[in-house]
């Protein structure tokens, strides 16, 4: 499809038959006088009084327990940059569609015109009582780190920055499986990460939590290797600064087992791929155009495993495999926060699922005759129906183990099944 044709199709999709992608629907009947008296006055006063006596009753009498705020300041929209909060609205609506489609979660998209991180934090804190969780989206680094940390301290509901943790979960799940196929282990892998923003730093942190050695990780930003002699590093980059003679991406790639790119298009050359260790893993995740196209990477090395952020290539690293189901598990367990243990549980659930036989419904959805765990299939497909059970259950179980949840795993599983019926 040409760029002109794609543009027209995308704009028509968002404009017709009515503008936007989200709408509000009533979950209760309202077609008689009695229905009206229950939906609003005088009947509505009864749940009001119950909630006033016990705030936890909001989960029984309102949609709070199944409602997420997808909220942004528009400072880092996709790969398009800082285009402002209103321009981010189509993305936030799209996120709402995915929450609903894949996990049955309701969403209000909220675009905030905030001049400072403190202003943004105040807005979210003020509206938080409405929601069962907060999904932060498209907020530029380093402000995104400050905002998330502050809100986690202030709120008693899950706060999740998908650009950080959702991306990290999918990268980790795919990388564990890719290394397994290549006969390598995470603890021994030499990893180069190009991109030191939200996704890059969060992914490296989660990999370390899962067993990667920080001494084996080389972080590279727009100025080169993040090393201890540099004086221009923020506190988040300093956490990965190494004592090393390496200065350029070219130098860092030599002998590396893994490349993770969360940066920009065409920044990796075939020569860099050739310089990597035997059986390398290359995750070129910049969108819409990766750091190196699969055909160029595979022409340079026939022994690599390649993943991108695009659906038209094998092994798409797609956040939709993570955030709907992570939030589903957190909401079902009524968790107060999404912990590292919950993220790791999601990683293992995704990785294990990819190693199992693929259901016929997935083959049909993707018009495939066969699909099996291996170099071109290291992550489940988004339309795999097993995701909706496996990942939320794993997340909810991890929440109850860490006592960050108000419901037992059995209660959470029962609620999840009921919501998806």
Using one digit for the tens of pLDDT, what is the confidence trace for 336-366? 999 999 999 999 999 999 999 999 999 999 9
pLDDT for 280: 98
Q: Tell me, what's the pLDDT at 312?
A: 85
Q: Which of 95, 190, 381, 407 is catalytic?
A: 95
**Residues 221 and 340 placed together within one structural domain of the fold:** no
Instruction: Tell me the pLDDT tens digit for each residue of 251-296.
Output: 999 999 999 999 989 999 999 999 999 999 999 999 888 999 999 9
* pLDDT computed for residue 224 by the predictor: 95
Over 80: is that where the pLDDT of 221 sits? yes
Q: Write the CATH number for 400.
A: 3.40.50.720
| Domain boundaries, position 103 | 3-27+63-157
Residue 375 predicted with pLDDT over 60:
yes
* Contact assessment for residue 404 and residue 337, using Cβ atoms and an 8 Å cutoff: yes
Q: How far apart are CA 290 and CA 225, in angstroms?
A: 20
CATH number of the domain that residue 119 is part of: 3.40.50.10380
Cα 57 to the center of its chain, rounded Å:
30
Domain boundary (126, 157, 188) is at: 157
Give me the catalytic one of 7, 8, 9, 40: 40
What integer is the mean pLDDT of 173-197?
A: 97
> Among 286, 308, 330, which residue terminates a domain?
308
Q: Does residue 169 share a domain with residue 148?
A: no
- Residues 63 and 289: their CA atoms lie apart, in Å, by 39
Domain shared by 138 and 178, yes or no: no
- pLDDT above 90: residue 401: no
Average pLDDT over residues 392-417: 69
Looking at the domain assignment, is residue 52 inside a domain? no
| pTM of the entire predicted model | 0.91
Task: Label residues 5-14 b or e (16+ Cβ within 10 Å = b).
Answer: eeeeeeeeee
Catalytic, 40? Answer yes
Asked whether residue 224 falls in the same domain as residue 267, the answer is yes
Q: How many CB atoms lie within 10 A of CB 245?
A: 9
User: What's the pLDDT at 404?
Assistant: 58
Average model confidence (pLDDT) for the chain?
Answer: 93
Note whether residue 45 is domain-resident: no
Does the pLDDT of residue 100 top 90, yes or no? yes
Rounded mean pLDDT, 198-211 = 95
pLDDT at 408 over 70: no
**Collapsing DSSP states into helix, strand and coil, what is residue 417?**
helix
* 217 lies in the same domain as 357: no
Task: Answer yes or no: is pLDDT of 130 > 70.
Answer: yes
Residues 403 and 370 occupy one common structural domain = yes
Residue 421: pLDDT band (50, 70, 90) is very low
Q: In terms of domains, do 243 and 302 share one?
A: yes
Q: Are residues 263 and 342 in the same domain?
A: no
Domain boundary among 278, 308, 338: 308
Residues 153 and 170 placed together within one structural domain of the fold: no
- 21-73 pLDDT, tens digit per residue, is 999 999 999 999 999 999 999 999 999 999 999 999 999 999 999 999 999 99
Q: Tell me if the bond preceding 17 is cis, omega within 30° of 0.
A: yes
Q: How confident is the model at residue 227 (pLDDT cuts 50, 70, 90)?
A: very high
**Which residues, other chains included, contact 240 with Cβ-Cβ below 8 Å and sequence gap of 6+?**
196, 201, 204, 214, 217, 219, 226
Q: Please give the tally of structural domains in the chain.
A: 3
pLDDT confidence of residue 400 = 87
Q: Tell me: pLDDT of 413 over 80.
A: no
To the query of whether residue 95 is one of the catalytic residues in this protein, the response is: yes
């Amino acid at each position: 499809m040409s760029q002109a044709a794609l543009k027209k199709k995308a704009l028509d999709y968002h404009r017709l038959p009515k503008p936007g992608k989200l709408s509000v629907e009533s979950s209760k009947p309202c077609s008689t006088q009695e229905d009206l008296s229950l939906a609003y006055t005088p009947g509505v006063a009864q749940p009001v009084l119950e909630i006033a006596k016990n705030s936890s009753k909001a989960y029984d009498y309102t949609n709070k327990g199944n409602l997420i705020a997808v909220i942004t300041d528009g400072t880092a929209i996709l790969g398009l940059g800082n285009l402002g909060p209103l321009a981010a609205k189509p993305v936030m609506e799209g996120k709402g569609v995915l929450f609903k489609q894949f996990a049955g979660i309701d969403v209000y998209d909220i675009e905030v015109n905030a001049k400072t991180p403190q202003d943004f934090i105040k807005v979210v804190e003020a509206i938080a009582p409405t929601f069962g969780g907060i999904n932060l989206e498209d907020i530029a680094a380093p402000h995104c780190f400050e905002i998330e940390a502050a809100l986690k301290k202030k709120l008693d509901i899950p706060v999740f920055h998908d650009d950080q943790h959702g991306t990290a979960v999918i990268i980790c799940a795919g990388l564990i499986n890719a290394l397994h196929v290549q006969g390598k282990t995470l603890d021994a892998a030499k990893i180069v990460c190009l991109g030191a923003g939200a996704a890059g730093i969060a992914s490296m942190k989660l990999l370390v939590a899962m067993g990667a050695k920080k001494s084996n990780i080389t972080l590279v930003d727009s100025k080169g290797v993040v090393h201890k002699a540099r004086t221009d590093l923020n506190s988040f980059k300093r956490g990965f600064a190494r004592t090393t003679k390496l200065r350029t991406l070219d130098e860092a790639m030599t002998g590396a087992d893994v490349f993770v790119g969360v940066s920009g298009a065409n920044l990796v050359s075939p020569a860099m791929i050739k310089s990597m260790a035997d059986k390398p893993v290359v995750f070129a995740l910049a969108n819409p155009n990766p750091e190196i196209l699969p055909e160029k990477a595979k022409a340079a090395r026939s022994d690599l495993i390649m993943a991108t952020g695009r659906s038209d290539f094998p092994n798409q690293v797609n956040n939709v495999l993570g955030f709907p189901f992570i939030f589903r598990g957190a909401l079902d367990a009524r968790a107060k926060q999404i912990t590292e243990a919950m993220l790791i549980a999601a990683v293992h659930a995704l990785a294990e699922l990819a190693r199992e036989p693929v259901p016929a419904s997935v083959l049909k959805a993707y018009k495939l005759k066969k699909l099996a765990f291996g170099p071109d299939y290291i992550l489940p497909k988004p339309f795999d129906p097993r995701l909706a059970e496996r990942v939320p259950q794993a997340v909810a179980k991890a929440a109850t183990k860490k006592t960050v949840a108000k419901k037992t795993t059995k209660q959470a599983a029962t609620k999840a099944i009921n919501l998806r019926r």
